[in-house]
Amino acid sequence: MRSTDFSDIFKVATAGMRVQGERIRIIAENIANSDSTGLSPGAEPYRRRQITFKEVLDKTSNLSSVKVASITKDPSAFTKEYNPEHPAADAKGYVLKPNVKSLVEGLDMREAQRSYEANLSVIDTIKNMFARALDILRA
């Protein structure tokens, strides 16, 4: 069994921060487009995007970390809103609305933020341990 050094921990934590940052970006896009409808009757509105992660094993260092596996469109149904004056209204006056739910996006954003902060906390802890070790060596 090999001992873990500080650089291994930095690599794993930064990989976690990287994917959570990407997750936050996708969530921000979803929120920004939550009212983006089509421009003509029958045109689809914005479709929510979702991100999935996968575990990656670096065989040279035997480190397991995470990376983005894919960013896909959410296949869930659009909602309809009655607005006959809208340019994208169908013959019955309904407009397709994006399948973005603000509450879900807010909860996902909070979870991603906490995960990002947890990885940042790991890096801060390692930096503090390293600094203390250097202080001891200097004394």
Residue 3 has pLDDT above 70, yes or no: no
Q: Which whole number is the average pLDDT over 77-101?
A: 95
Q: Which whole number is the average pLDDT over 69-83?
A: 96
**% residues pLDDT > 90 (the chain):** 74
pLDDT score for 134: 87
CA of residue 72 relative to chain centroid, distance: 12
CB 65, CB 9: distance < 8 Å: no
C-alpha neighbours within 13 Å on the C-beta side of residue 132 = 6
Is residue 14 packed enough to be buried (19+ CB in 10 Å), middle (13-18) or exposed (0-12)? middle
Backbone angles phi, psi at 97, to 5 degrees: -110, 150
pLDDT score for 92: 94
pLDDT score for 1: 41
> Confidence class of residue 84 from pLDDT cuts 50, 70 and 90?
very high
